[in-house]
Amino acid sequence: MGGTSCDATRSRESDFAMFRMPSVIVIGAGMSGLCMAVKLRRAGITDFTVLEKASDVGGTWRDNTYPGLRCDVPSAFYQYFFDRNPDWSHFFAAGDEIQDYFRGVVDRFALREHIELDTEVTRAEFAEGRWRVRTADGRTREADFLISASGVLHHPVVPDIPGLDSFDGAWFHTARWDHSVSLADKRVGVVGTGSTGVQIVSELGGSVPKLSLFQRTPQWVLPVPNWRNDRLTRALRSRFPALTSLEYRLIEGIFSILVAAVTRPGWQRTMISKLCELNLRTVRDQDLRRKLTPDYQAMCKRLVMSPSFYRAVRRPGVEVITERIDHVEPRGVVTTDGTLHEVDVLALATGFDSHAYLRPVELVGPTGRTLSDAWSEGPRAYRTVALPEFPNLFLLMGPHSPVGNFSLVPIAEVQADYAISWIRAWQRGEYTTAAPTREATDDYNARLRAAMPNTVWATGCQSWYLGKDGLPEVWPWSPHRHARMLRDRHTDEFVVDPAQEGVWR
């Protein structure tokens, strides 16, 4: 009996000795970066650092503070499943409320000690089995794993409009809104009619002396109401947490209709198209309705959700301008028909570079291959989460992630869990380095391309979903299929360097 006990003790000590503790660097402290940090902490991994280039966490919700900002995904679905909030004030939460939620995540999960703010990553090189990460301050940090959580829409696109710098008034991109500029007595120009432009017009229309909306392409608008969550509703959610889980799953199911509409033809696509058409018919002015009527299928671009946009553009002082912008002069915007539209403030709702991902950070793999080389023909990844020839690297919200009119939060959770599964295997000593093969990556991307013609994004419109080759660069199936795909590590599709004796830390 005594010998057996000693053997068991030695076995447990040996198991503990063979259990490595990894070091991890996460780039970005937005929604996906904070998700990764919580997952690491819950997995018992404490040697991790989140490097954030800005002076606060929150990513999109830190950068965007424009009037009328709301998430176009219901609040109950735009939150971590492991940290559900019963106190959302509205069905669609305002931007500052979402930012407060993410700041709260930092405190509730004790992440602050792991986050380094004002620390911009410029380069990361994999050498001698580890990632060496250089930051703008000249420092270098090392880690066993590198996680990119830099987001999708975070590089603002400022159009090259002749004369913009000559404008006498204030101008800025909507992601850099200048709150020192009072709008109360100003003539405001808004360039762009995506979700951002629609939200700004809905908020400011009728409350400023004049609002000029410079529209290049009209949008289909789905009139989803944004009701207030009353005190009783919030109290019931707080008292019965199962209600928040039920609400989460219910909204997820409703959004699956929208997902089906964009990924394949069927009744879902027809129904949403009809709802958008009926909404447009509420605009009785024939000339204005003509201006607001798209010439492409609903959902070919990211579907705009607003219950009030068509009311806002009919308010006194609001003008929809469809002539192209020719140039800007000190007094305002001149369109191609020669008309000067005088404005005092110009807000550019002109979107983001959706293909940048973690760039301008340069990655260098062990063979010397750079990310610039790998993505010279456009961003591609293995199953949205990894890159061939870049070992021990995982991407959150990487190329072809399911980002089309769906909550990004559950997507980030699934991808973070996938990264954790590989890190766990490393801890168990199953490998030292791992990266997907080029063949597996090519095969996966070929299957993506073959599925694209079924999607609404390929029906003939220009959008930020399209890549250099004109094909959509998003996920062509359901998010549930994406989750099922990442439940398995697919180790047979990786180049794996087995762990060697003596590497234990």
pLDDT tens digits, residue range 259-276? Answer: 899 999 999 999 999 999
Looking at residue 219, its pLDDT comes to 96
Check if the beta carbon of residue 413 is closer than 8 Å to that of residue 148: no
Looking at residue 274, its pLDDT comes to 97
Looking at residue 154, its pLDDT comes to 80
Looking at residue 13, its pLDDT comes to 35
Looking at residue 16, its pLDDT comes to 39
- Contacts of 233 by beta carbon, 8 Å cutoff, 6+ apart: none
CA pair distance 441, 438, nearest whole angstrom: 5
CA–chain centroid gap for 243, Å, is 27
pLDDT of 249 strictly over 50: yes
Tell me the torsion sign for CA atoms 421, 105, 409, 63.
Answer: negative
Mean pLDDT computed over 380-392: 97
CATH superfamily, region 21-155+354-497 = FAD/NAD(P)-binding domain (3.50.50.60)
Of 41, 120, 25, residue with least CA distance to 80: 41
Mean pLDDT computed over 336-357: 92
Residue where the block lists tokens 């890190």: 423
Which tokens sit at 361? 């950070």
pLDDT of 323 strictly over 60: yes
Looking at residue 500, its pLDDT comes to 55
DSSP secondary-structure letter at 261?
H
- Contacts of 453 by beta carbon, 8 Å cutoff, 6+ apart: none
Residue where the block lists tokens 């050498």: 127
Which tokens sit at 201? 């017009």
Q: Residue type for 441, please? A: T
Looking at residue 151, its pLDDT comes to 86
CA pair distance 99, 64, nearest whole angstrom: 10
Mean pLDDT computed over 363-388: 95
Which one is predicted more confidently, 354 or 190? 190
Which one is predicted more confidently, 358 or 153? 358
CA pair distance 216, 251, nearest whole angstrom: 32
pLDDT of 205 strictly over 80: yes
Average model confidence (pLDDT) across the chain: 92
45: region left, alpha or beta (phi > 0 left; psi from -120 to 50 alpha): beta
- Contacts of 301 by beta carbon, 8 Å cutoff, 6+ apart: 194, 217, 219, 220, 461, 463, 465
Q: Which residues of 475-496 are buried (b: 16+ CB within 10 A; e: fewer)?
A: bbbbbeebbebbeeebeebbee
- pTM value? 0.93
Check if the beta carbon of residue 427 is closer than 8 Å to that of residue 18: no
Looking at residue 174, its pLDDT comes to 97
CA pair distance 487, 187, nearest whole angstrom: 53
Looking at residue 9, its pLDDT comes to 35
Instruction: Kindly indicate the confidence band of residue 355, based on its pLDDT and cuts at 50, 70 and 90.
Output: confident
pLDDT of 4 strictly over 90: no
Peptide bond connecting 388 to the previous residue in cis, omega within 30 degrees of 0: no
CA pair distance 82, 40, nearest whole angstrom: 13
Check if the beta carbon of residue 263 is closer than 8 Å to that of residue 458: no
Range in 1-15, 392-406, 490-504 with the lowest mean pLDDT: 1-15
Mean pLDDT computed over 312-317: 96
User: Which residues face 187 on adjacent strands?
Assistant: 210
Instruction: Kindly indicate the confidence band of residue 11, based on its pLDDT and cuts at 50, 70 and 90.
Output: very low
Looking at residue 230, its pLDDT comes to 94
pLDDT of 43 strictly over 70: yes
Looking at residue 404, its pLDDT comes to 74
Report the percent of the chain where pLDDT is more than 90: 83
Report the percent of the chain where pLDDT is more than 70: 95
Task: Count the Cβ atoms, other than its own, within 10 Å of residue 139.
Answer: 10
pLDDT of 410 strictly over 90: yes
